[in-house]
Amino acid sequence: MDITSVTSKGQVTIPKELRQQLGIRQGSRIEFLLVGDHVEMRVRSSPAGEARSGFGMLKSRRASVPTDFDPATLRLSQAHR
């Protein structure tokens, strides 16, 4: 069992293992219910498109390479110089 503190704004950190098991990430909607003398927390929704591969997470300032780009043509054009 993990124990965490409440901040002055009433915020708590959900332990990483629990976030991973429940699929909680930025933008997730959480419901809190008072049940007797304790609080139950339920995940109501999580944003779609969970990143598993990491593809697309980094942004570049460079222009993207066209999908029909053929690297062989680049080698030929450099070899003739």
Rama region for 41: left / alpha / beta (φ>0; ψ in -120 to 50; rest): beta
Provide the residue count of the chain: 81
Burial of 22 by CB count in 10 Å (0-12 exposed, 13-18 middle, 19+ buried)? middle
Per-residue pLDDT of the chain (81 residues; tens, 9 = 90+): 789 999 999 999 999 999 989 989 888 999 999 999 999 999 998 887 555 667 667 777 888 878 888 877 776 555 555
H or E element in which residue 76 lies: helix 71-79
pTM over 0.75: no
Per-residue pLDDT at 51:
57
Per-residue pLDDT at 61:
83
